[in-house]
Structure 1
Amino acid sequence: MTLSIAELIKTHRGENFALHERYLNTQMVRVLQTIGYDRTYTHARGPYLYDQEDNEYLDLLSGFGVFALGRNHPTIQSALREVLDLDLPDLVQMDVSILSGLLAEKLVQVTPEPLTKLFFCNSGAEAVEAAIKFARYTTGRSRILYCEHAFHGLTLGALSLNGEEVFRQGFGPLLPDCDAIPFNDLEALERALKEQPTAAFIVEPIQGKGVNLPDDDYLTEAARLCRKYGALFIADEIQAGLGRTGRLWAIEHWGVEPDMLLMAKALSGGFVPVGAVAMTAHVMDKVFNRMDRAVVHGSTFSKNNPAMAAGLATLSVIEEEKLLANAARQGEALIGGLNALTDKYEFFQAVRGKGLMLALEFGKPRSLKLKTAWSLLETANKGLFSQMVTIPLFKRHRILSQVAGHGMNVVKFLPPLVIGAKDVEWIVSAMDDVLADCHQVPGAIWDLGKTLAGHAMKARKTA
């Protein structure tokens, strides 16, 4: 009997949560059910998801940045179908493939000039792991500097560079010689570089957790300091890269030339996992410096044909559909529309970001009644107010978003780069409505807040 995926899905539709609770992450199922995110999505197109009742949802999470082109883009689908229909040899291993060579050539054309070599892998975390190894071998040093509140992945090496303790707790000991410094602090960076030899400084040009932007001179000066003290400068563009900020690479906003640039997520086109490290010839030639070292680092499924085709198609779509300009234009409109609400609502304090990588920051209000309600939430669990924004955004306005990090009252928007003016209006109107309700104490949203606070207090006691 021939396997039919369509028939399997049809037969088991609606069993998503039961299957995951039984065989996968039970706690994740409970989280989604508790906050009312337990929908059964049946199809998707562009920036929209559709449930079994054909309700349309606007996705501002984008799979944590994977779906920069939206979901099920026809150009990516066509490229993948073509690869499958060609019956190409794949992963021969004792061979070099044409598609990986072509994707590498294209990436070299669109990355900063010093980066002329590519290493392919399967994910952003794998790109970070490779960068750690390459930096250590190239410099002969072991120490890696990273920033507080950074996020570079959850595999062991990447986790060692993770600035959020909630992810690290209980998984130690992690890699030695990995030290955190404050983000956007050149004095701290220079002190750290001075105190002992360092292999590399890895930094997100815009931090994903919190969407923290650097000062105008931070990244260029950080690169200069790294060169001064013999450390490599690594730009982690896994989330911010490939058009997210209105430029192909976030570092282009500041004219920075790194020794390595890490990419993944959006390069997949939303279909086939792929990551890459773009690097200088100096780094590549140091690591792979003899024929007997040609295999000292690699990954079984890296450079597979579907992933390489997805990468080529993604770059083609970004260029042909002028998505960099659209991200910049819609991002400016969205920031402008949301900024107009900060004068209207006490809780809403700031909007920041570049292109379509945005943070909405909330803080303690001025008036006594609102201040008291805020304090009760913060006592129960720091950052809980953000959930009082994201949950009604989803349940009432069918907008999917998430908080920007643990313990912070920041909501993060990562819309697909294909959104239009209609979507911007949808977002601003929905935020206006939700924030208006947040300022009604008591009210329905504050009933939600009490429920969330109760769960938080219960969880704290259990822990």
Structure 2
Amino acid sequence: MNQDSTSLNKRTEGDINMTPARESWLKTEVDERTAELLEKDARYFLHQSMSTPCLDVLKACEGPSFENISGKTYLDFHGNNVHQIGYGNPQLVENLIKQLQTLSFSPRRFTNEPAINFAEKLAFLTPSNLNRVLLTPNGSSAVGIALKLGRAITKKFKVVSFWDSFHGASLDAISVGGESVFREYMGPLMPGVERIPPPVTYRGIFENNEDKCLEYLEYVFSKENDIGVFIAETIRNTDVQIPSKHFWQEARKLCDTYGVLLVLDEIPIALGRTGKMFAFEHFGIEPDILCIGKGLGGGIVPQAAIITRDDYNVFGDISLGHYTHEKSPLGSVAGLTTIELLQNGGLLEKVHQDETYLETALSSLKKKHDIIGDVRGLGMLWGIELVKDRITKEKAVEQAEQVMYECLKQGLSFKVSSGNVLQLSPALTISREDLDKALHILDTSLTIVNGNQ
């Protein structure tokens, strides 16, 4: 494989900070003060793919947008999946200020009313006996807790997961994850992980044949008798892959048959993103352990959690998720406020309306631009897959990056995943006017890039 091919394949999550497009951006799109700060940022932060070096310097955020130090506003259709209720939500800010004035931290062996109310609310939201909660500051830690709990419950150490999945960036999370960019130079990783190809319908080994994926899953379960956990994203967030209801119901049955715990990772996609509080509600199933996070803190406080069954509350003698900020009063207030706004602010109904609108608009873009091979989505989570040819489905990796930078120039930010998928995740609070503005920018950028080919 030549150097150019290797570089393109590494761009599984879009821009890797070392491309000509990034160099052009820094030369033409940032002012002198921004360039100075970016240089200082690059000097002191450890460089890593998808992060440092950065492309702009921010000073403010509000609602669906953020603003750089030069006064330019970007509509944020990425947001690291934390901005369901919009940036700087006034109700959340007010509630956090009140909490800061009383109890800002809760140390070990003590609890507090916000944390108790938060755990009670999470238990109330989830079905059947999913009533037990552990809180943690970030999603990777939530996945780690789920893996430890799975071992304790089943007394089995092996895990099945999907290739290309993302479950966090810590060593245990990348061990069960399936993205190569996170595992490079990291071996040996946690033993006992069996990965299978995902049920991707547009391309891949099981293209348009989810039953083959189920057959493969059962084959692995039957051959490996010490599998304790099957961990998966209910809907794959990065490039927006949505399995069918049939797939998830059959997978749930297989877990029950072989005594495997189903751990669903909904860290980026729960909390209204798909039009329901939790994505698994679309499929008529429930997990044994649910991992949530990101938007749970309202885009201000780092907050995540696992929710599991009453049956598994039998490990009081071991530490499963003993973190410094385990019962954070601030994180709990953020979570409670976020849930309240989703439930009582009409956001879930708004997501359903916006989903219909986006589906129509993006389908029109696909008819107009032959570079679009596929459009898929649910709620306010959408993926636009760019291809060089609709028949061969060859990935349009370079073109996807060009579209991203054209959109950035015009004030629209989003993530590129799998090298060629434009992943769109706006704030659920976004106005129809801003939604139209973003669609116009996307349309214009696709026209520019297509015209330059």
Q: TM-score, normalised by structure 2?
A: 0.85
1:19 & 1:177 partners in 2: Cα distance? 42
2:387 & 2:163 partners in 1: Cα distance? 21
In the alignment, which residue of structure 1 is the partner of 2:210?
A: none
- 1:114 to 1:182, Cα distance in 2 relative to 1, 3 A: farther
**What secondary structure, in the 3-state scheme, does the structure 1 residue paired with 2:277 have?**
coil
**What secondary structure, in the 3-state scheme, does the structure 2 residue paired with 1:222 have?**
helix
**AA partner of residue 365 (structure 1):** D
C-alpha deviation, 1:217, in angstroms: 0.8
Query: Is the Cα–Cα contact under 8 Å of residues 331 and 356 in structure 1 kept in the other structure?
Result: yes
Q: Does 1:190 align with 2:214?
A: no
Query: Is the Cα–Cα contact under 8 Å of residues 333 and 424 in structure 1 kept in the other structure?
Result: no
Unaligned runs of 5+ in 2: 1-32, 200-212
Query: Is the Cα–Cα contact under 8 Å of residues 76 and 314 in structure 1 kept in the other structure?
Result: yes
Q: Does 1:389 align with 2:369?
A: no
C-alpha deviation, 1:294, in angstroms: 5.5
Larger CA Rg, structure 1 vs 2: 1
Superposed CA offset, 1:187-225 (max 9, x none): 111111111221010110111231111022111111111
C-alpha deviation, 1:417, in angstroms: 0.7
Aligned runs of 1:390-429 on 2, under 5 Å?
Answer: 390-395=404-409, 397-405=410-418, 408-429=419-440
**AA partner of residue 433 (structure 2):** K
2:440 & 2:321 partners in 1: Cα distance? 50
2:50 & 2:122 partners in 1: Cα distance? 39
2:121 & 2:321 partners in 1: Cα distance? 23
Match of 1:135 among 127, 130, 150: 150
Match of 2:343 among 319, 329, 336: 319
**What secondary structure, in the 3-state scheme, does the structure 2 residue paired with 1:78 have?**
helix
- 1:274 to 1:29, Cα distance in 2 relative to 1, 3 A: closer
C-alpha deviation, 1:19, in angstroms: 2.9
Match of 1:215 among 241, 244, 247: 244
Superposed CA offset, 1:130-186 (max 9, x none): 000000110010111101110001111101111111210110100000110122321
In the alignment, which residue of structure 1 is the partner of 2:385?
A: 361
C-alpha deviation, 1:14, in angstroms: 7.4
Query: Is the Cα–Cα contact under 8 Å of residues 20 and 29 in structure 1 kept in the other structure?
Result: no
Superposed CA offset, 1:224-259 (max 9, x none): 110111010111110110111011101111111110
Unaligned runs of 5+ in 1: 1-11, 447-463
Match of 2:141 among 113, 116, 126: 126
Q: How many corresponding residue pairs?
A: 407
Query: Is the Cα–Cα contact under 8 Å of residues 373 and 386 in structure 2 kept in the other structure?
Result: yes
2:88 & 2:320 partners in 1: Cα distance? 36
C-alpha deviation, 1:295, in angstroms: 4.0
**AA partner of residue 221 (structure 2):** L
Match of 2:312 among 278, 283, 286: 283
C-alpha deviation, 1:357, in angstroms: 0.8
C-alpha deviation, 1:16, in angstroms: 3.5
Aligned runs of 1:52-451 on 2, under 5 Å?
Answer: 52-62=69-79, 64-86=80-102, 88=103, 90-184=105-199, 185-197=213-225, 198-285=227-314, 287-288=315-316, 293=317, 295=319, 297-365=321-389, 383-395=397-409, 397-405=410-418, 408-440=419-451, 443=452
2:236 & 2:50 partners in 1: Cα distance? 28
1:93 & 1:179 partners in 2: Cα distance? 36
Query: Is the Cα–Cα contact under 8 Å of residues 123 and 131 in structure 2 kept in the other structure?
Result: yes
Query: Is the Cα–Cα contact under 8 Å of residues 157 and 192 in structure 2 kept in the other structure?
Result: yes
Query: Is the Cα–Cα contact under 8 Å of residues 399 and 449 in structure 2 kept in the other structure?
Result: no
In the alignment, which residue of structure 2 is the partner of 1:456?
A: none
C-alpha deviation, 1:306, in angstroms: 0.8
**AA partner of residue 192 (structure 2):** D
Query: Is the Cα–Cα contact under 8 Å of residues 160 and 193 in structure 2 kept in the other structure?
Result: yes
C-alpha deviation, 1:61, in angstroms: 0.7
Query: Is the Cα–Cα contact under 8 Å of residues 84 and 428 in structure 2 kept in the other structure?
Result: yes
- 1:29 to 1:257, Cα distance in 2 relative to 1, 3 A: closer
**AA partner of residue 355 (structure 1):** G
1:13 & 1:412 partners in 2: Cα distance? 27
User: Over the residues paired in the alignment, what is the CA RMSD in angstroms?
Assistant: 2.2
**AA partner of residue 328 (structure 1):** H
- 1:366 to 1:227, Cα distance in 2 relative to 1, 3 A: closer
- 1:305 to 1:30, Cα distance in 2 relative to 1, 3 A: closer
